Amino acid sequence: MTLLDFARGPALEWAAVIFVVGLFWRIGGLIFLARARPLSRNRRDDLWRGGWRMVWSRFVPNRVFRDRISLQFLAGWVWHVGFFVVLLMFEVHILFFEGLFGLSWPALPNTVILVAAAVTAGLLVMLLIRRATQPVLRAISGFDDYASVVVVLLPLLTGLASYAHLGLAYETMLALHLLSVALLLVWLPFSKLVHVITMLPSRYVMGVKFWRRGVEV
Amino acid sequence: MTEVVTKDELGEAFAMFYGMAAAIGDMVEPAPEMDDAERVQRAKDTFLHGLDGTFALQLDVCVHCGACAEACQFYIGTEDPAYVPVRKLDLMKRVYQRELSPLRWLHRLTTPEITADDLRAQQTLVYDACTMCGRCNLVCPSGINISEMVHLNREALAAAGLMPDELRFMDDGQAADGTIFGADADLFRFRIEDLEQRLGFAIPVDKESADVLLVTSGLDIHLFRDATGGAIETLTHMGIDYTLLSDAYEGANFGLLSGDVKVQKELTRKLTEAAIRIGAKVVIVPECGHSFPALRWGAAESVGKPVPFDVMTVSEYFGRAVMDGRLTLEPQKHEKPIALHDPCKVGRWGGVFDEPRAILKACGYDLHETDSSRTYNFCCGGGAGNFLIERADPLKRAGYRVKMNEIEKTGAESLVVSCGSCRMNFEVGKVKAGDTMPVESLAAVIAAHLPKTPKEAAE
Ligand code: SF4
Ligand code: SF4
């Protein structure tokens, strides 16, 4: 079995299994914990409206915070969008998903994907350096924080290298790309990357809490 | 309005009260002995008891982006990474990760147990350096409720016998006699008689039933008499069926501030049962920020069932009366603009924003809003009991500066607040910084704009 066979075969399959089981384990564990229910009267009903409102409103920082955190939010936005554009709109990826799920959709031109991948990777490197040097971020960062950036960065770098035929032989590069994807799948449920699932529910519960007290956020 | 306290009297009372607060450190008894293993166990038990699914979800979802630092007065004022809000949850997160997380089998390999020294180090973070104002909750992209989780930290430290001396002194005092700063029933009656003389009418105390129960606080009894006096004068003017009670007049709750849940519930239960006993439809809590959440969100919890009354702050009750046309105030010509401070526990945590503004408008004021106003308002810097913690002084000053800079930027020439401890913190902050902005009570402002009686008009 070649490295590529291993990567596109057992490595990805096992990673997918660990990804699914891990996610169920982590999210299920959170769902099954009991939740406190307040007895005091709400100041405002239709709590779901408060939750829903905050799920959306928190995508953009409020005016009063803009001077201090706009750049950081913008960088976060750009690389997240860039990452998903590359993941979901690159024709080779779409073919892969079609093979897997039988569904397909139109791709974006390769140059757009290339730019998105390069910008995303560049931003991630910058954010990694910022995390290691900016005093606040240094103070709150641990292994998970640094490792998660690297684990997201690897598929982008290996993907760019295989597309551009850089570095090692194409087949080896492709195998490394697939292995990095497998690593991402295995890493996600056990790291802070799980926020892709938990962040919006967390916003929702906070929005409900404020709304119940008559505060719109 | 009848002047219930002169400027000189207020100055004298302020100096006396400030001296009393500063002397707490000398008066406090040593903390009860407890061995370190027990401290750790009690803290862990408290964390695990309070950590429900919602808190667990939120502890799990932090992406360590650091945005919360940019909302917190203590970080902004000091630029010290030690005060980044999310760090205040680190200890609790360790307990969560080791004991409750779905991944605890993994975390136990990498996350150390908490120690008594960790708990001791946590004290300054969650008492001195956090007023549980909730501003960081407004910037966090994950919507994490940092401030309420800080409160759970206070509960854990209280259970471990590690609350700051000043708050332990207040908590023990309130556990013993229900009130603060020795404002016992005799002093309460004395103050009521004093107010009666100055206001010129009898104040209803200990009525067997009344629609409205008015609560005051030791701070107002000793110091801010204009706040309680203003509320009394306005209720009487409106012809409301109200009473104060000599067995339930204290709205302050140092159980809540210190993290002593038992005392918190007991104090709230006492007020709740008194309100039920007299058939009150509304309880008006004094101009004391935390007395509002203690009763508004704690009354039903304290008796284990919904309660038959509403809880409102002074600003909310009278503001609604103005908005509904039940209270007409007489606008006056105010040349100088004013600013308004929304106490965090009443505004951001209670939704009371429009009411004080309606009052100020009806009084004819030109209100200049701060850049961060209403929901996004900065804390005064001394909330949640930290205005009493002596060693927290540099932090309080930093928080005060952030707030006062915003107020000064509005061009306002005076400041209105409806919270005694915010007022106290502004007054102390002013003295220490050499600022001169006059700070007034909203209740006193209301009373000063009541329509004149025919007799007053003739005079
Ligand atoms: S609740 Fe307020 S004081 Fe506490 S960390 Fe958040 S912003 Fe800072
Ligand atoms: S803003 Fe929220 S997600 Fe970011 S570090 Fe603070 S608590 Fe964590």
Among candidate residues B342, B341, B231, B225, the one with its CA nearest the CA of residue B285: B231
CA B96 to ligand 2 centroid distance, Å: 17
Choose the closest CB to A65 out of B71, B81, B350: B71
CA B238 to ligand 2 centroid distance, Å: 47
The alpha carbon of B444 is separated from its chain's Cα centroid by a whole number of angstroms, namely 18
What confidence score (pLDDT) does residue B3 get? 74
Choose the closest CB to B67 out of A44, A72, A201: A72
Tell me whether A6 touches chain B (CB under 8 Å). no
What confidence score (pLDDT) does residue B1 get? 57
| Total domains, chain A | 1
Please answer yes or no on whether A25 and B102 come within 8 Å at the CB atom: yes
Rounded Cα distance, A29 and B57, in Å: 10
Average pLDDT for residues A49-69, to the nearest whole number? Answer: 95
A108 in Cβ contact with A90 (< 8 Å): yes
* Residue B173 Cα, gap to closest chain A Cα (Å): 27
CB contacts of B352 in chain A (<8 Å) are: 214
| pLDDT lower than 50: segments of chain B | none
| Cβ under 8 Å to B: A residues 48-67 | 54, 58-59, 61-62, 64-65
Please answer yes or no on whether B65 and A205 come within 8 Å at the CB atom: no
* Residue A18 Cα, gap to closest chain B Cα (Å): 14
Q: Is the pLDDT of residue A82 over 60?
A: yes
Count of Cβ atoms closer than 10 Å to residue B454 Cβ: 7
For B66, the closest chain A residue by CA position comes to A137
Q: Is the pLDDT of residue A58 over 90?
A: yes
Of all residues in chain A, the percent with pLDDT exceeding 90 is: 90
Rounded Cα distance, B255 and B263, in Å: 5
What confidence score (pLDDT) does residue B4 get? 77
Count of Cβ atoms closer than 10 Å to residue B206 Cβ: 13
Of all residues in chain A, the percent with pLDDT exceeding 70 is: 100
What confidence score (pLDDT) does residue A33 get? 86
- Maximum alpha-carbon separation in chain B: 82
**Is residue A217, in this structure, part of any structural domain at all?**
no
For residue B83, the ligand 1 atom closest to its alpha carbon is: 5
DSSP state of B191: H
Nearest ligand (C-alpha, residue B128) = 1
Tell me whether A69 touches chain B (CB under 8 Å). yes
B203 Cβ contact partners less than 8 Å away, ≥ 6 residues apart = B192, B195, B196, B232, B236, B244
Q: Could you give all domains of chain B from N- to C-terminal order, each with its CATH number?
A: 7-23+175-322 (3.40.50.1860), 36-161 (1.10.1060.10), 325-448 (3.40.50)
Rounded Cα distance, B318 and B310, in Å: 14
Rounded Cα distance, B152 and B160, in Å: 12
CB contacts of A34 in chain B (<8 Å) are: 52-53
Among candidate residues A186, A122, A118, A127, the one with its CA nearest the CA of residue A151: A186
What confidence score (pLDDT) does residue A40 get? 94
Q: Is beta strand B212-214 parallel, antiparallel or unpaired with respect to B282-285?
A: parallel
- What is the sign of the dihedral through the CA atoms of A62, A66, A68 and A70? positive
Ligand 1 near B74 CB (within 6 A): yes
What confidence score (pLDDT) does residue A138 get? 97
What confidence score (pLDDT) does residue B261 get? 96
Task: Kindly report the backbone phi and psi dihedral angles of residue B271, in degrees, each rounded to the nearest multiple of 5, phi listed first.
Answer: -65, -40
Burial-class residue B168 by CB neighbours within 10 Å (0-12, 13-18, 19+). Answer: buried
What b-and-e string marks burial along A199-212, b requiring 16 or more CB atoms within 10 Å of the CB? bbbbbbbbbbbbbb
Q: What is the ipTM of this complex?
A: 0.94
What confidence score (pLDDT) does residue B288 get? 87
pLDDT in tens, B409-432: 999 999 999 998 899 999 999 999
**Is residue A44, in this structure, part of any structural domain at all?**
yes
Please answer yes or no on whether A31 and B375 come within 8 Å at the CB atom: no
Please answer yes or no on whether B376 and A44 come within 8 Å at the CB atom: no
Rounded Cα distance, B222 and B220, in Å: 5
Query: What CATH number should be reported for the domain holding residue A189?
Result: 1.20.950.20
CA B74 to ligand 1 centroid distance, Å: 8
Name the helix (H) or strand (E) containing B213.
strand B212-214
Rounded Cα distance, B352 and B243, in Å: 24
pLDDT in tens, B263-315: 999 999 999 999 999 999 999 999 988 999 999 999 999 999 999 999 999 99
Count of Cβ atoms closer than 10 Å to residue A168 Cβ: 14
CB contacts of A41 in chain B (<8 Å) are: 300, 306, 310
Residue-number span of the structural domain to which A26 is assigned: 3-212
Assign 3-state DSSP to chain B and report helix, strand, coil percentages, each to 5.
55, 5, 35
Helix axes B225-238, B185-199, angle to 10 degrees: 60
Bridge partners, residue B415, by sequence: B339, B439
Choose the closest CB to B102 out of A29, A39, A192: A29
| Cα-only R_g, chain B | 22
Among candidate residues B382, B384, B392, B393, the one with its CA nearest the CA of residue B424: B382
The alpha carbon of B360 is separated from its chain's Cα centroid by a whole number of angstroms, namely 21
Please answer yes or no on whether B66 and A76 come within 8 Å at the CB atom: no
Burial-class residue A101 by CB neighbours within 10 Å (0-12, 13-18, 19+). Answer: exposed
**Is residue A125, in this structure, part of any structural domain at all?**
yes
Mean pLDDT of chain A: 95
Rounded Cα distance, B434 and B401, in Å: 11
Rounded Cα distance, B18 and A143, in Å: 47
pLDDT in tens, A139-185: 999 999 999 999 999 999 999 999 988 888 999 999 999 999 999 99
What is the three-state SS of chain A? CCHHHHHHHHHHHHHHHHHHHHHHHHHHHHHCCCCCCCCCCCCCCCHHHHHHHHHHHCCCCCHHHHHHHHHHHHHHHHHHHHHHHHHHHCHHHHHHHHHHHCCCCCCCCHHHHHHHHHHHHHHHHHHHHHHHHCHHHHHHCCHHHHHHHHHHHHHHHHHHHHHCCCCCCHHHHHHHHHHHHHHHHHHHHHCHHHHHHHHHHHHHHHHHHHHHCCCCC
